[in-house]
Amino acid sequence: MDNDVYGHVNNTIYYSWFDTAVNAYLVEAGVLNVTGGREIALVVETGCRYAKPVSFPETVEAGIRTTKIGTSSVCYEVGLFLAGEMSAAAEGFFVHVLVNRETRRPTPFPPEWRSALTAIVA
């Protein structure tokens, strides 16, 4: 995203990057079908600590891991890094609850979801 009036990417964009990194992993793992799946994952909580500003056109890389997997909820930790750097520009967390697409009620993780989430446990 483009820079804001302060010359860096606005803090709200970091949350968009969290969402993209987590959902991309779930789609690539074959468990999330964003347009037609029986279950969807809703964000119920997020947080972020900023270490240094990011400005367009810098390249941002994301790393994700799971830290707590419950019956229908999961907590991810997300690190956002400028390309090639070892220290994070921002670190945050992201909590999903798996719900039935139609009822929006929590539903337990099916085995394939649990396997994908366990694969990236910290």
Q: Average per-residue pLDDT in the chain? A: 94
Q: What domain range includes position 86?
A: 11-118
In a domain, 5, yes or no: no
pTM for this prediction: 0.91
- What is residue 23's predicted lDDT score, i.e. its pLDDT? 96
pLDDT tens-place string over residues 91-115: 999 999 999 999 999 999 999 999 9
**What is the residue-wise DSSP string for 21-49?**
HHHHHHHHTT---TTT-SEEEEEEEEEEE
Does residue 1 belong to any structural domain of this protein?
no
Structure tokens at 14: 């970091």
The answer to whether residue 6 sits within a structural domain is no
Inside any domain, residue 4:
no
Q: How would you class 54 by CB atoms within 10 Å of its CB: exposed for 0-12, middle for 13-18, buried for 19 or more? A: buried
Structural domains of the chain, count = 1
